[in-house]
Structures are given as structure tokens and as C-alpha cells.
């Protein structure tokens, strides 16, 4: 299992858990600030990783390689083979 596309969501969930722990009194404000600082750094690193991946996909598409997502042509349904959209 890869974490591709999930790192930012995991970081946000852990921030929510830390906020809950602070509200319940399980963490001191100092502990919370350290945790939020570390998770903020992780969140920015995950965002940076996603931006780099998006730039790589654009480069591959410009070079004629298979893009990450294929858009439907005008008048066609996404995922439908040619001519299927006009049937029916």
C-alpha cells in the first residue's frame, strides 16, 4: 500500500486528534505546539511532494507519454469508447 495522495489527509487527521487531546486535557499547550509544529512541517512536505508529482505528470503529457488522466473528447462520455456516447 502506498501513501500517494494520502499523506496530507493523514497529517490533517493527526492534527485533529492532537486538537482533541488538547481539548480533553491530555496534552499541555507546550506539547500541543510542538506536535502542531512537526505536523505542519510534514503537511508542507506532503504538499510539496504532490506539486512535484503534478509537474512530472505535465512534463510527461507534453512529451507525448500517457497522461495521468485522460480527458474525454467533446461530445463523448468519460470512459466511453468512440461512438458509444451517441448510441442509445
Domain ranges of the chain: 28-66
pTM of the model: 0.58
Of 15-24, 46-55, 74-83, the poorest mean pLDDT is in 74-83
**29-62 helix and 7-24 helix, angle to the nearest 10 degrees:** 170
Is the pLDDT reported for residue 15 higher than 60? yes
What are the pLDDT digits (tens) for 24-39?
999 999 999 999 999 9
Percent of the chain with pLDDT over 90: 34
**pLDDT range class, residue 6, cuts 50, 70, 90:** confident
- Dihedral sign (CA 21, 24, 26, 29): positive
- Closest alpha carbon to 36 in 9, 15, 20, 8: 15
C-alpha cell at 2: 502506498
Amino acid at each position: 500500500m502506498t501513501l500517494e495522495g494520502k499523506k496530507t489527509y493523514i497529517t490533517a487527521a493527526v492534527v485533529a486528534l492532537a486538537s482533541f487531546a488538547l481539548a480533553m486535557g491530555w496534552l499541555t499547550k507546550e506539547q500541543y505546539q510542538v506536535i502542531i509544529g512537526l505536523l505542519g512541517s510534514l503537511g508542507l512536505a506532503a504538499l510539496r511532494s504532490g506539486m512535484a508529482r503534478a509537474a512530472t505528470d505535465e512534463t510527461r503529457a507534453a512529451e507525448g507519454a500517457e497522461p495521468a488522466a485522460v480527458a474525454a473528447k467533446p461530445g463523448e462520455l468519460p470512459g466511453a469508447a468512440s461512438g458509444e456516447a451517441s448510441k442509445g
